[in-house]
Amino acid sequence: MLRRQLLAGCAALAFGLAAAGGAAAQDVFKIGLILPMTGQQASTGKQIKAAVDLYMAQHGNTVAGKKIEVILKDDGAVPDNTKRLAQELIVNDKVNAIAGFGVTPAALAAAPLATEAKIPQIVMAAGTSIITERSPYIARTSFTLAQSSEIIADWAIKNGIKKVVTMVSDYAPGADAQKSFSDKFTAGGGTIAEAIKIPLANPDFAPFLQRAADAKPDAVFIFVPSGQGGTFMKQFVERGMDKSGIKIIGPGDVTDDDLLPNMGDQVIGTVTAHLYSADHDSAKNKAFVEAFKKANNFRPNFMAVGGYDGMHLIYEALKKAGGKTDGDSLIAAMKGMKWESPRGPMSIDPDTRDVIQNIYIRKVEKKNGELYNVEFATFENVKDPVKAAKK
Ligand code: PHB
């Protein structure tokens, strides 16, 4: 009798535990957030982490009856780390989505794992066009380099720039930036005097800047990933190139809001095309910048909005999917989603899962004693031109 009671008790206990475990698993939605918190791209990790925290502080951590839990992992922007961490998050932590990805190689390394696990992969930072094609479970809230590079090429043509030296970091987004710019610029009658590639790791720009100066171009088109613009600008000024009349143009990564406040007045007048400026004139952005600065003591940059909007996309997809948490339901819910971001209006292309957004032309100016990218022209609802050209 006693034995039978004991067994029954054990069975009931076991059942109770299993049920509790099941309920807990169902009620929590886990996001594995993989970011470069250390190393050369650490500013991207810092910006995105701060934006994710802000989004959750403002919107709560319960969505469609699920408690949102973020598990942060530092990959140092090393793709082998990204892959291992994504694997661990999927297998051990049983995350429902992976997000972050500070650089293209990191986003690419995780893509096959998202496909295999059938969970959403939200790309909040990386900008090479091809990324979204690497898994049907990827959606992107950052940008593509082609979006800004084509638009600045068009601006250059219209503003009397005829001869350009391109300088890009020697990896995939640099190649995209270089190609998009050059194709558009030469089609408009411009000449590329030299196409220079700069090593991605610990770059010394000086020898490349000398080569650029020797070619006597009207402008240097520069792409370096967020975090390197300060060094580039410093070396440009050290060689006196700011006084030689050679303009700097490019996608806005080089005058990134994270570094811009400390770049010095020599960068005033630099014109770039980009998706976000902390100076963007909208009520939504003013509230975002104020809350972000209050929480962090630094300005949000374009990576921060990628993170903030990535969280928005996950939250809204969970609501729209009516409590379903499987990757297919969530990705279906994300397709075509539209909202107002601090950057302006944006949406997820239902065909490609890539970001559609305004691209602004901006000029560095001093406002209330601080350097800002001040937007002065808007190109609305820009799709990734590389994918558009393939159709
Ligand atoms: C990228 O690796 O895709 C990347 C990183 C930082 C940027 C732009 C692109 O600013």
pLDDT tens per residue across span 257-298: 999 999 999 999 999 999 999 999 999 999 999 999 999 999
Phi, psi of 100 (to 5 degrees): 110, -120
160: domain CATH number is 3.40.50.2300
Give the nearest ligand 1 atom to 253 CA.
10
Q: Whose CA is nearest to atom 7 of ligand 1?
A: 225
156/264 same-domain check = yes
Q: Whose CA is nearest to atom 3 of ligand 1?
A: 126
1 falls within a domain: no
211 falls within a domain: yes
Task: Place 332 in a pLDDT band, splitting at 50, 70 and 90.
Answer: very high
Q: How does DSSP classify residue 77?
A: T
Q: What is the total residue count of the chain?
A: 391
User: What does the pLDDT average to over 386-391?
Assistant: 86
Q: Does the pLDDT of residue 20 top 50, yes or no?
A: no
367 falls within a domain: yes
Strand partners, 370: 367
66/215 same-domain check = no
Task: Place 391 in a pLDDT band, splitting at 50, 70 and 90.
Answer: confident
Of 360, 244, 348, 249, give the one whose Cα is nearest residue 302.
360
Burial of 5 (0-12, 13-18, 19+ CB in 10 A): exposed
Q: Whose CA is nearest to atom 6 of ligand 1?
A: 225
Pocket test for ligand 1, best of 132, 142, 171, 253 (most atoms within 8 A of CB): 253
Pick the residue with more confidence: 242 or 14? 242
53/129 same-domain check = yes
Distance CA 325, CA 327 (A): 6
120 residue type, one letter: P
238 falls within a domain: yes
Domain containing 197 equals 146-274+359-390
14 falls within a domain: no
206/329 same-domain check = no
- pLDDT at residue number 25: 54
Q: Does the pLDDT of residue 17 top 70, yes or no?
A: no
Pocket test for ligand 1, best of 140, 226, 258, 275 (most atoms within 8 A of CB): 226
Beta carbons within 10 angstroms of residue 98's beta carbon: 31
Tokens in use for 250? 């490019």
Task: Place 7 in a pLDDT band, splitting at 50, 70 and 90.
Answer: low
367/345 same-domain check = no
84/66 same-domain check = yes
72/92 same-domain check = yes
Ligand 1 centre distance from Cα of residue 95 (Å): 25
Give the nearest ligand 1 atom to 44 CA.
6
Q: If you search the block for the tokens 């100016």, which residue do you land on?
A: 365
Give the nearest ligand 1 atom to 127 CA.
3
206/309 same-domain check = no
Q: Does the pLDDT of residue 15 top 90, yes or no?
A: no
DSSP structure string for 283-337? HHHHHHHHHHHHHHSS---HHHHHHHHHHHHHHHHHHHTTT--SHHHHHHHHTT-
Of 230, 193, 199, give the one whose Cα is nearest residue 213.
193
84/154 same-domain check = no
Q: What percentage of the chain exceeds 70 in pLDDT? A: 93
218: Cβ contacts below 8 Å, ≥ 6 apart: 160, 161, 162, 163, 164, 246, 247
Distance CA 347, CA 274 (A): 16
Strand partners, 163: 191
16 falls within a domain: no
Lowest average pLDDT, out of 20-34, 39-53, 274-288, 330-344, goes to 20-34
Lowest average pLDDT, out of 13-17, 58-62, 360-364, goes to 13-17
Task: Place 4 in a pLDDT band, splitting at 50, 70 and 90.
Answer: low
384 falls within a domain: yes
Ligand 1 centre distance from Cα of residue 361 (Å): 19
DSSP three-state, residue 146: helix
21 falls within a domain: no
170/181 same-domain check = yes
How high does pLDDT run on average in the chain? 94
Query: How many structural domains does the chain have?
Result: 2
334/374 same-domain check = no
Q: What residues does ligand 1 touch, defined as CB less than 6 Å away?
A: 103-104, 126-128, 173, 225-226, 253
pLDDT tens for 293-324 read: 999 999 999 999 999 999 999 999 999 999 89
pLDDT tens for 229-240 read: 999 999 999 999
Q: Whose CA is nearest to atom 9 of ligand 1?
A: 127
Of 288, 266, 267, give the one whose Cα is nearest residue 276.
288
Q: Whose CA is nearest to atom 8 of ligand 1?
A: 225
227/121 same-domain check = no
Q: What percentage of the chain exceeds 90 in pLDDT? A: 90
The edge-to-edge listing of strands for the beta sheet with 121-123 is: 62-63, 66-74, 28-35, 97-100, 121-123, 138-140
Task: Place 23 in a pLDDT band, splitting at 50, 70 and 90.
Answer: very low
pLDDT tens for 33-45 read: 999 999 999 999 9
Distance CA 202, CA 223 (A): 15
Ligand 1 centre distance from Cα of residue 109 (Å): 15
Give the nearest ligand 1 atom to 224 CA.
10
